[in-house]
Structure 1
Amino acid sequence: MKSLIQAVVVAAALAAPALSFAQSNAPVTRAQVRSDLVQIEKAGYRPGDDETHYPVAVQAAEARVAAQNGATSGYGGVASGVSQSGGRRVSAADWNAMYNRP
């Protein structure tokens, strides 16, 4: 009896992650895709206009749509700003001064 309870607990522990996906696996309909495209076009994205800035332009339009729809949290979107790591930039004169002895 004790081994049966242990087997049920182990089976439940292994089955729980499979039932807790954050996404639905339902297919997206053609109407949903069309409405999304209309929304980002209203936000300023023009498909085929300037393909050199494609990812940036569509992500900016999606961010505007998300802001209009009130999405304040989540993952993805447009990263704005600049990040920097390390110290100051070292010029060639600094390198020469560092390695050449007088």
Structure 2
Amino acid sequence: MNALIKQIAVAVALVAPVAAFAQSNQPVTRAQVRADLVRLEQAGYNPLDWLHYPENIQAAEQRVSAQEGAAQSNTSGYGPAVQGASQSGSAATDSAVSTYSPPVYQHN
């Protein structure tokens, strides 16, 4: 009897982590895709502009997420989402770049 209880306990211990990571991946409906496209078009995305494809859809997605973030921040008590950036160093200018390159292997 004790062996059976131990086997059940081991089985439960092995199955529990798998159940914790289970997700419901429901497929997206056609109506949801169309609604997303309408939102992107309202934010300035033009699906016929193939010359600027990655840039214009990314910009429209940022605008949509900013609008949704602003709408959520009005209803929640946490405030708006903050997107920060940091840069280090200074920009290289033409006068700061040297054209001199010393010889690498010079034997006498």
1:93 to 87, 100, 104: 100
**Stretch deviating more after TM superposition (57-66 or 38-47):** 57-66
- Alignment map for 1:32-43 (pairs within 5 Å): 32-43=32-43
CA distance 1:91–1:15, shift in 2 (3 Å): farther
TM-score, normalization: structure 2? 0.58
Question: Is the partner of 1:9 in helix, strand or coil?
Answer: helix
For 1:45-102, what per-residue CA distance to the aligned partner results, in whole angstroms no more than 9, with x for missing partners? 11012x13212221221121111111749xxxxxx96877xxx8974414x167658x
Counterpart residue identity of residue 65, structure 1? V
Stretches of structure 1 that go unaligned for 5 or more consecutive residues are 74-79
Question: Is the partner of 1:16 in helix, strand or coil?
Answer: helix
Higher relative contact order by CA 8 Å / sep ≥ 6: 1 or 2?
1
**In structure 2, what is the equivalent of residue 46 of structure 1?**
46
Alignment size in residue pairs: 90
CA distance 1:99–1:2, shift in 2 (3 Å): farther
Superposed CA RMSD in Å reads 3.7
Counterparts of 1:8 and 1:59 in 2: how far apart (Å)? 51
**In structure 1, what is the equivalent of residue 78 of structure 2?**
none
CA distance 1:11–1:47, shift in 2 (3 Å): same
Counterpart residue identity of residue 3, structure 1? A
Counterparts of 1:32 and 1:39 in 2: how far apart (Å)? 11
CA distance 1:28–1:67, shift in 2 (3 Å): same
